[in-house]
């Protein structure tokens, strides 16, 4: 089969265009556009002691999923409760650790999603509510 000089010239250009289109479609399908994705999840390790959290202050982004890895390094029972947007404890919008009671040496987690608006969120231990307290700053 004979090809014309014009066909020989266009063949590499056509292949390059098909390759570029394929790469663009693949990047779009894999989320390469960067739009709509929220902040990356974050994890913090917290030691619950008698009667304080270490650390007790955290900063996160709006809408960020946060995992708190909790360890009871004290002699008393502990837990962690994050107040909801109403800033009231023991209401429907609280987030509570799993398990909700840690014996000495116990460990667990609390998975929580930060609100979409900036602000300060309070947390505490239900068993030592005056002493074991902390804050999460959404910024």
Instruction: Please list the rounded mean pLDDT of every run of 10 residues in the chain (139 residues).
Output: 56 49 43 65 98 98 98 98 95 96 98 97 98 98
Look up the domain containing 91 and give its range: 42-138
Q: What are 94-99's contacts with CB under 8 Å, separation 24+?
A: 97/68, 97/70
How many angstroms separate the CA atoms of 126 and 33, rounded? Answer: 44
Looking at residue 77, its pLDDT comes to 98
Residue 32 lies inside a defined structural domain of this protein? no
C-alpha angle with apex 121: 100 to 55, nearest 5 degrees?
70
Looking at residue 35, its pLDDT comes to 54
List all residues 6 or more positions away from 32 whose beta carbon is below 8 Å from its beta carbon. Answer: 26
Residue 86 lies inside a defined structural domain of this protein? yes
Number of domains in the chain: 1
Looking at residue 3, its pLDDT comes to 61
Q: What are the start-end ranges of the H helices in the chain?
A: 5-29
Residue 4 lies inside a defined structural domain of this protein? no
Residue 22 lies inside a defined structural domain of this protein? no
Residue 93 lies inside a defined structural domain of this protein? yes
Give the SS3 label for residue 101: coil
How many angstroms separate the CA atoms of 49 and 127, rounded? Answer: 12
Q: CATH number, domain at 130? A: 2.60.40.420
Sequence-ordered strand ranges (E) for the chain = 42-49, 52-54, 57-60, 65-72, 81-82, 95-96, 107-113, 119-124, 133-138
Residue 78 lies inside a defined structural domain of this protein? yes
Residue 13 lies inside a defined structural domain of this protein? no
Residue 84 lies inside a defined structural domain of this protein? yes
């Amino acid at each position: 089969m004979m090809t014309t000089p014009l066909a020989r010239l266009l063949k590499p250009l056509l292949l390059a265009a098909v390759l570029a289109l394929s790469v663009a479609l693949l990047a779009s399908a894999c989320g390469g556009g960067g739009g709509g994705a929220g902040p990356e999840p974050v994890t913090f390790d917290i030691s619950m002691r008698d009667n304080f959290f270490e650390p007790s202050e955290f900063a996160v982004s709006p809408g960020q999923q946060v995992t708190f890895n909790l360890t009871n390094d004290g002699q008393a029972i502990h837990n962690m409760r994050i107040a909801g947007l109403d800033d009231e404890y023991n209401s429907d919008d609280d987030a509570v650790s799993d398990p909700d009671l840690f014996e000495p040496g116990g460990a667990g987690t609390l998975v929580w999603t930060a609100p979409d608006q900036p602000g300060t969120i309070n947390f505490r231990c239900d068993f030592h509510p005056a002493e074991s307290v902390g804050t999460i700053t959404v910024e």
